[in-house]
Amino acid sequence: MPTLNLKEIFKTTARFSGFYKIKPEELDLPPELGELKGPVEVEIQIEKAPRGYEVHLSIKGNIELECSRCLTPFIKDLESTETIRLEKYPEKPSISLKAQDLNVFFLEDEENFNLADLVREQIILSIPIKPLCRVDCQIPTLEEPEEDPRFSALKKLIQTKHSL
């Protein structure tokens, strides 16, 4: 797993850039969300910001999802570019959130920043709640099953009971 020591990196430079290929097993996505098909390519640029760091993150890869209508598996391209703020956990609980607070990833340790955690979160956020294989996907229609002759006496009994 790519682990970055942000304190050490920013002692000598104001900007860090890197390119990583993260294996599916390193991202450890929950299986019910889908299965990554191959490594995820991550391009990252990190700059020092007043309250932490500003991260420009580009993610490319493929994930196999199950269509929520027809239940067939399909491959979805993962391509996203995000700007995220990395900050330490707030010292006192915040009562209200502002718009700029919604795109924050909290750091547990500046010396051991796990890039895979951030990438995993962004992949999970990019997966639709109800994935569709196609925009015009339809729910499959079921054929009417043939009537079992063994139940004909029961059907007559039920019809007689309703007619009374």
Structure tokens at 108: 């547990």
Least confident of 35-44, 62-71, 88-97, 109-118: 88-97
Residues 6 or more apart whose CB falls under 8 angstroms from that of 52 comprise 85, 86, 87, 88, 107
Q: What is the DSSP string of 123-151?
A: HHHHS-SS--SSTT--PPPPPPPPPPGGG
- Band (25; pLDDT cuts 50, 70, 90): very high
pLDDT in tens, 121-156: 999 999 999 999 999 988 877 777 777 778 888 888
How many domains does the structure of the chain reveal? 1
**pLDDT, position 44:** 94
Q: What percent of the chain has pLDDT over 90?
A: 46
Q: Is the Cα dihedral 100, 28, 45, 4 positive or negative?
A: positive
- Which tens digits make up the pLDDT trace of 91-123? 777 666 676 667 788 888 888 888 999 999 999
Q: Domain span at residue 48? A: 3-163
Burial (CB count <10 Å: 0-12, 13-18, 19+), residue 51:
exposed
pTM of the model: 0.76
